[in-house]
Structure 1
Amino acid sequence: MSTVNLPTDLLRTFVTVIDLGGYTRAGDALGRTQPAISLQMNRLQELLETKLLEQKGRSLELTEAGSALAAFARQILHLNDEAVARFKSPERQGVLRIGLPTDFAVSKLQATVAAYVDEHPDVDLEVSCGLSLALFDDLHKGELDLIIALIGEKTQQYLVRVWEDQPIWVAKNDFNLNPDHVVPIVGHPTGCEYRNRMTDALGSVNRDWRFVYTSPDVSGLQYAVGAGLGVSAMTYATLDDEMRILCESEGFPLLKPIRIGLFYKLPNMSAAGLELSNRLIDCLDRNTDQHFKAAAHPSPRSRFE
């Protein structure tokens, strides 16, 4: 069987079309005409013998094959750009806007970012911490360049890498709860993946629950659990000495794994952003239970404008 090589320039055009929402904008970003972009897209589809994009009204929509290829393409281009930067030593300067989640090992991620800034004083860093839904929205609007965020059931656009971690039920060391009593929950606001997993798990065993403390910040949840206000879901990275792990024998079912992703728009990624993204990748490799490639979890279909 002959091997088909995928040219990186075709993959870059494909991802740029996705990220910018059309052939004309991709052409402007890449310094090519709209017809040239169309020819490249046709060539890529011919190489793979499959359709990658469909026109739906005024919008382009990825096919199932297009969604799968996008996951591979982002990884390939990330490695390509990392290799080029390794030998060409590009300038690392300018403004870099980073979004970090409040609900996953934020202190370790912040330490990674702080160490990078200390080494590169010419990079002006702007860090925003928030819930993952808000970070996705800011990335889509162009207000952030790179984010780490929790992923829901569907793979999100701009996903470059993904990890998986196992959340655990936690409570204060001396916390005890009658199995017949309502479970007091400490958690993030509505929309948080940890919150969803807690309520789904308790619902699966028909156990009643109520939220007694809500905070968008993980340190607030750690304080509330340490004070004995209720139980929560965290990862081993955010577990502290005042907490103990609750088990199934106490009426707390196993929680579904959490998926954490690294996201950025390829056309907007600077040399500084690429280098910092690699450091964040190393940090997440060290602080998650299992590491998975983004291509292993392609979404069945995604729409972009």
Structure 2
Amino acid sequence: MYHPLINLQTDLLRAFVSVIDLGSFTKAGTALGRSQPAISLQMRRLEELVGRPLLRQEGRSFRLTPDGEMLLSYARDILRLNDQAAALFSRARHSGILRVGLPSDYGVAFLQGVITDHVRKHPEVLLEVHCGLSSVILERMRADELDLVIAMVDTERKQYLSRSWIERPIWAGAEHGRISIKAGLPIAAHPDGCTYRARMIRALDAARIRWRIAYTSPGISGLQNAVVNGLGVSALTRHTLLPGMRVLGPEEGLPSLEDIRVGLFYKHPRLTSAGLGLINHVISQLDAAGTSGDPTRALGELRGL
């Protein structure tokens, strides 16, 4: 017997995503040109449609239920594709200022590839790139100072997260440098708070290897130069390795490093046509890279990095 599927109406999904991204029914109503009661009604209709509660009230705030978290992931993709199709048929131009936040390690690899490739095809888009610690650029997005952020995450569930993938850091040292663990391993690292730095220290402490911070820089190019010149070893990714470096591992007595989860973040209600175009481009490249276990490495190879 045929059971008709429910129709998830985009206006209900848009209200749902807006409430979550903007943090309140009132702000969602303002963004969508509706009253707060109208947004509340749309939320009730959506819950009735799916037959599950999506939000749980906690005092004056609310929290997503497990079903709400699952639906949110689908809703983001549905709205993104809907708005992409609408922009195509309306012949909307990708224009305006696009503010992108990148962690320092992506300031080279990711920026040279996917993001700049898209902007070159749309010269009417003005690009602003802000690099820094993941926690800092995510906070700037919460404050509506950034439109799109690539950042390191510690969980699969995080506010504004659209996609995530696994990054596998590796130890890198000077090509002809000698590693002496007994003398205390010199490390080149970003300032305290960096995910890569934390993983290096945890791995070395667990292996009872003495270490010292020999070089500190907020930028990836500084760390790369420090490694090439033999000032210290560092945790990098394969697509940030440079000539003059070599991969280090168990042969040199170094422990493996924990995987890092990287995510793509944005607030759908705040997206401009330029932001939507870039997000669709980034996601299409991630999908093309596949799920081989190291999507960012595959992505770098796709873009010739």
Q: Which band: TM-score by shorter chain? A: 0.7 to 0.9
Structure 2: 5+ residue runs without aligned partners? Answer: 297-305
SS at match of 1:229: coil
Contact 2:181–2:210 (CA under 8 A) maintained in structure 1: no
Question: RMSD between aligned alpha carbons?
Answer: 2.3
Q: Which moved more, 1:55-64 or 1:135-144?
A: 55-64
Q: Which residue of 2 aligns with 1:54?
A: 56
Match of 1:222 in 2: 224
Counterpart of 1:144 in structure 2 is: 146
**Is contact 1:101-1:149 (8 Å) kept?**
yes
How many angstroms apart in 1 are the aligned matches of 2:176 and 2:294?
30
TM-score when scaled to structure 2? 0.87
1:228: Cα distance to partner?
0.5
Alignment partner, residue 136 of structure 2: 134
Match of 2:101 in 1: 99
Partner residue of 1:72? 74
Is the contact made by 1:103 and 1:131 (CA closer than 8 Å) also made in structure 2? Answer: no
Q: 1:226 to 1:66 in 2, by over 3 A?
A: same
Of all paired residues, the percent bearing the same amino acid is 49
- Decide whether the 8 Å contact of 1:165 with 1:257 is kept in 2: yes
| CA distance, structure 2, for counterparts of residue 96 and residue 242 of structure 1 | 35
Residue 227 of structure 2 contacts residue 245 of structure 2 at CA under 8 Å; is this kept in 1?
yes
Within-5 A mapping of 1:1-305: 2=3, 3-104=5-106, 106-153=108-155, 155-284=157-286, 286=289, 290-291=294-295
Please tell me whether the aligned partners of residues 203 and 257 of structure 2 are also in contact (alpha carbons under 8 angstroms).
yes
Q: CA deviation at 1:5?
A: 3.5
Amino acid at match of 1:290: D
The one-letter amino acid paired with 1:233 is A
User: Which fold has the larger relative contact order, with Cα–Cα distance below 8 Å and residues 6 or more apart in sequence?
Assistant: 1
One-letter code aligned to 1:38: S
Normalising to structure 1: TM-score of the pair?
0.87
Q: Distance in 2 between matches of 1:214 and 1:154?
A: 29
Q: Which runs of 5+ in 1 are unaligned?
A: 293-305
Which residue identity is paired with 2:231? L
Q: Deviations over 1:239-265 (max 9, x none)?
A: 112111111232222212222211111
Q: 1-side partners of 2:109 and 2:295: how far apart? A: 20
Q: Deviations over 1:137-186 (max 9, x none)?
A: 11000101111112223532111111222111111112222343322111
- Distance in structure 2 (CA, Å) of the matches to 1:46 and 1:183: 60
Residues 79-137 of structure 1: CA distance to partner in whole angstroms, max 9, x if unpaired? 22223223332132222211122113634424543343333333232221222111101
Displacement after TM superposition at 1:283 (Å): 4.7
Q: Distance in 2 between matches of 1:254 and 1:53?
A: 40
